[in-house]
Amino acid sequence: MQKRWKFLAVAWTAAALFAPTPAAARYSADTDTGADAIDYIENERRRMRENRLSDEQLRLMQDAKEMTANLRKPVDPDKPVPMALEGDDLFYDEATGDVYARGNVRITSLDARRFESEEVKGNLKTEDVEIPGKAHMLQMTEGQMRATLDGYRVVYHYKKQTGRMEDVKGKIGGYYVYGRRIEFHPERIVIYDGWQTKCGAKTPDYRVSGDVIEIYPEHEILIYQAKYWIKNKVVYSRDFYRADISPDAKNEMQMPRVGYNNSDGVWVRYRLAYDLAKRLDVFADLKYYTKHQFRNVYGIEWQNAGSRAAVEYGYYEDSDDNWIEKQPTFLYSYGNRIGNLPISYGLNFEGGRWSHNGIDSTHTYYGVSIWPHTIRLGSDKFRLNARASYGITRESYDHSSIRGTSYGAVMSYDFSPALTAYVGYRYSTNTKGKTLFAYNSDDYARRFDYGVSLAVTDRDRFVFGQAMDAERHTVRDIDYYWFHDMHCAQVILRYRAKRDSWHVSCEFTPW
């Protein structure tokens, strides 16, 4: 019969350094029917898939809850976190603090951390633990990154908050990771000869490997001798790669994207970037189209505290398949919240040489915009978003100057987890009949949008969107979308019925 010994002592864990990171892989709709109003559906689906809990994680949370309920007195915050130790055989020397457990050993701390192994050695006074064989570690501590790791030869020093684990594989936050050795330090986690990905396959569809990977929780990831993989093939390598994983960062693993549309043919896109200095990058958006060949964008950008400044050169395409060449252009933008109000504002400027169809012009734009944060009603089922802006566009080619206000609002309602509808209105002074270039100009001044999203399976979702010219009361655009999730990737098909054109793209997503 199994002997089970339980006592309260110091919490043992090799993951005290982990902290939250944001979910990545943001989706933004390519639309002329207002379908971007429900982008939150796709992003929420990806976030839920990335952060879903396993059965053992749920069990750990329940066990920690029961431990809290059974405590005889409140926990002293100045003392080690209580824990429970279970095993077939247990030895504890009160004089020296040495402890030894063997057979189905399980160490569970009150703050939802757990170690499982067949043999554990340690000392309660020096707060050291050693697992010579295989170890399984779980962490569901509130305010810290979730972790599920399997590895060997664990050594951890609690007072110093340092340790190591060898031949490790598992998941840290939203990232699946592997490393021949992982070291834990108070301010960072270091993975040697390993990789990271958001694809949970045995052989990931995509990943980034490195000789050394340094993770600074809620700050950044540094990868030295980085290699980008698709399955078992290296598609790109670089000496150094930095990713911002602060809470407000849009941290995306840069992997190739492929697609097709009637205007461009088959296309492949890939972004290269290099850190020149802190917050200063050079980049190249490499884009190849079977109907246009290469149409790349090159630039240098600086970002800090809501500001972005960049000099860019290359070819750009909008959602209507309109092209422009910038030779080059300077861009600046700034956005921030207004005090503690649920309102934000933005400033934008662009000045540079634009060219298309034999027309060359010095294009200048000044703009300011303001928008309230999303208003939610009815248990978050109803969402209202609005935005207003004022801009001035000048062109040297014809000495034109267009100025005026643009505004709009859109509402969406979740009838069920599978069905959502939206309706919106937009007015714009920057229309194709007035502007020198069609690029990024609205087709008409007053637009009325509406549509629905319907999820028919866990992997398939359909969206219908329609746009009307509110002045002429005519339907101008009808879009149909199909989102199909595959393993670690997603195919998005868009059919523009009024224009009889197809747009297909494939991108990697969390799984």
Question: For the chain, what are the domain ranges?
Answer: 1-253, 305-443
The per-residue pLDDT for 296 is: 96
The per-residue pLDDT for 7 is: 31
Strands in 290-342 per DSSP E: 293-294, 297-304, 307-317, 323-337
Sequence-separated (6 or more) residues with CB below 8 Å from residue 320: 32, 438, 443
**How far apart (Å, rounded) are the C-alpha atoms in residues 417 and 379?**
13
Which residue, among 347, 426, 354, 428, has the nearest Cα to 394 in the 3D structure?
354
Joined together, the tokens standing for residue 296 give: 């790349």
Which residue, among 159, 117, 109, has the nearest Cα to 134 in the 3D structure?
117
Mean pLDDT of 160-182: 87
Residue 29 pLDDT greater than 80, yes or no: yes
Q: What is the pLDDT of residues 188-216, one digit of tens each?
A: 889 999 998 888 888 888 889 999 999 88
The per-residue pLDDT for 284 is: 93
Q: What is the pLDDT of residues 91-106, one digit of tens each?
A: 888 888 888 999 999 8
- Confidence class of residue 254 from pLDDT cuts 50, 70 and 90? low
CA distances in angstroms from 217 to 69, 97, 246, 437, 487, listed in the order given: 31, 33, 8, 45, 28
The per-residue pLDDT for 365 is: 97
Mean pLDDT of 310-337: 94
Q: Across all residues in the chain, what is the average pLDDT?
A: 86
* Dihedral (Cα; 53, 55, 61, 62), 10-degree rounding: 140
Q: Which of 1-15, 266-280, 346-360 has the highest mean pLDDT?
A: 346-360
Q: Between 10 and 259, where is the model more confident? A: 259
The per-residue pLDDT for 13 is: 27
Which residue, among 197, 56, 208, 75, has the nearest Cα to 139 in the 3D structure?
56
Lowest mean pLDDT across 13-22, 80-89, 221-230, 330-339: 13-22
Mean pLDDT of 218-226: 85
Joined together, the tokens standing for residue 275 give: 């850190």
Q: Between 298 and 2, where is the model more confident? A: 298
- Assign domain 305-443 to its CATH architecture: Beta Barrel (2.40)
| pLDDT above 90: percentage of residues in the chain | 51
228 φ/ψ angles, rounded to the nearest 5 degrees: -100, 130
Give residue 129's identity as a one-letter amino acid code. Answer: V
Q: Between 171 and 509, where is the model more confident? A: 171
CATH fit for domain 1-253, picks 2.40.110.20, 1.10.10.10, 2.40.30.60, 2.60.450.10 = 2.60.450.10
Mean pLDDT of 160-171: 87
- Confidence class of residue 23 from pLDDT cuts 50, 70 and 90? very low
Query: Residue 386 pairs with which residues in a beta bridge?
Result: 409
Mean pLDDT of 15-32: 52
DSSP 29-90: ---SSSGGGGHHHHHHHHHHHHHPPPHHHHHHHHHHHHHHHT-SSPPPTTSPPPEEEE-SEE
**How far apart (Å, rounded) are the C-alpha atoms in residues 321 and 447?**
19
Buried b (16+ CB within 10 A) or exposed e, 447-482: bbbbbbbebeeeeebebbbbbbbbeeeeebbbbebe
**Chain centre to alpha carbon of residue 378:** 27
Burial category of 131 from C-beta neighbours within 10 Å (exposed 0-12, middle 13-18, buried 19 and up) = buried
CA distances in angstroms from 118 to 123, 131, 157, listed in the order given: 17, 9, 20
Lowest mean pLDDT across 18-27, 207-216, 436-445: 18-27
Sequence-separated (6 or more) residues with CB below 8 Å from residue 136: 115, 116, 117, 149, 150
Residue 48 pLDDT greater than 80, yes or no: yes
Residue 491 pLDDT greater than 90, yes or no: yes
**How far apart (Å, rounded) are the C-alpha atoms in residues 39 and 456?**
17
- Confidence class of residue 414 from pLDDT cuts 50, 70 and 90? very high
For the chain, the distance separating the N- and C-terminal CA atoms, rounded to the nearest angstrom, is 41
- Confidence class of residue 37 from pLDDT cuts 50, 70 and 90? very high
The per-residue pLDDT for 144 is: 66
- Confidence class of residue 36 from pLDDT cuts 50, 70 and 90? very high
Alpha helices in 269-363 (DSSP H): none
Measured from the Cβ of residue 366, the count of other Cβ atoms closer than 10 Å reads 15
Residue 477 pLDDT greater than 70, yes or no: yes
**How far apart (Å, rounded) are the C-alpha atoms in residues 158 and 210?**
28
Q: What is the pLDDT of residues 303-315, one digit of tens each?
A: 888 899 999 999 9
